[in-house]
Amino acid sequence: MRFSEATGRKVVSTADASTVGTISGFVVDPATKKVVAVALGKTSGQGTMLPFGSIAAFGTDAVTVASADAVVAPDDRLTELSAKQHTILKKRALTTAGDEVGTVRDVEFDPTDGSLVSIQLDDHTWNGQGLVGAGSYAVMLRP
């Protein structure tokens, strides 16, 4: 599934069938090459982060969670990874060999475990497991 498709999707609690928020972004950890959490907007409480492990199902129409308690306030690690300088979308992409290969337009991930499948650049795609790091200057990709 692509980030662009999943953004805006509702997150629903299976305990009381209430909407707990909508997906507003994705938190990617380059170390594990996985989506580690989903950032939520329009939440009722203080929490804004849904750790990927708390997701019951990533369905085509909605994301389900066991209860609204799954939505938490970001811990230090999530705060750092979700900071603007570590996001992936719309960043320049550089290979570790030092060549610019375009701008990151979209990311495809596996909805079952959050692992990155591919990274969509301007005119071609890159293996998602080639992600090395994401900083304020560029997203680094292994050739």
Partner 1 sequence: MSTLLRASELVKMPVVTHGGEDVAQIKDIVYAAHGGHVEAFTLAGRGLFAGPLKTALPWARVAGLGKSAVVIESEDDLVPLEEALAATAQDGPGRGDVLNSQVLTDQGTALGTVSDVVIGILGDPASSQADVVGYEILPAETMNRGKQRLLIPLPDTIAASGEHLMVPASASNYLTDDLAQFGSAVDAFRAQLGGRV
Does 136 bind partner 1 (CB under 8 A)? Our answer is: yes
Bridge partners, 26 (sequence order): 38
Q: For tokens 């705060």, name the residue.
A: 79
Does 32 bind partner 1 (CB under 8 A)? Our answer is: no
> Smallest distance from the beta carbon of 19 to partner 1, in angstroms?
35
Does 135 bind partner 1 (CB under 8 A)? Our answer is: yes
Query: Which window, 8-16, 41-49, 66-74, 98-106, contacts partner 1 (CB under 8 A)?
Result: 98-106
Does 124 bind partner 1 (CB under 8 A)? Our answer is: no
Q: Which of 95, 103, 115, 125 binds partner 1 (CB under 8 A)?
A: 95
Does 97 bind partner 1 (CB under 8 A)? Our answer is: yes
Pairing, β 10-13 against β 62-65? parallel
Kindly write out the interface string for residues 48-87 of this chain, putting x where it contacts partner 1 by CB under 8 A and - elsewhere: -------------------------------------x--
Number of Cβ atoms within 10 Å of the Cβ of 131: 25
CB 118 within 8 A of CB 125: yes
Total interface residues for partner 1 by CB under 8 A: 19
Look at residue 77 and give its three-state secondary structure.
Answer: helix
Backbone angles phi, psi at 15, to 5 degrees: -70, -45
Query: What is the Cα–Cα distance from 17 to 37, expressed in whole angstroms?
Result: 21
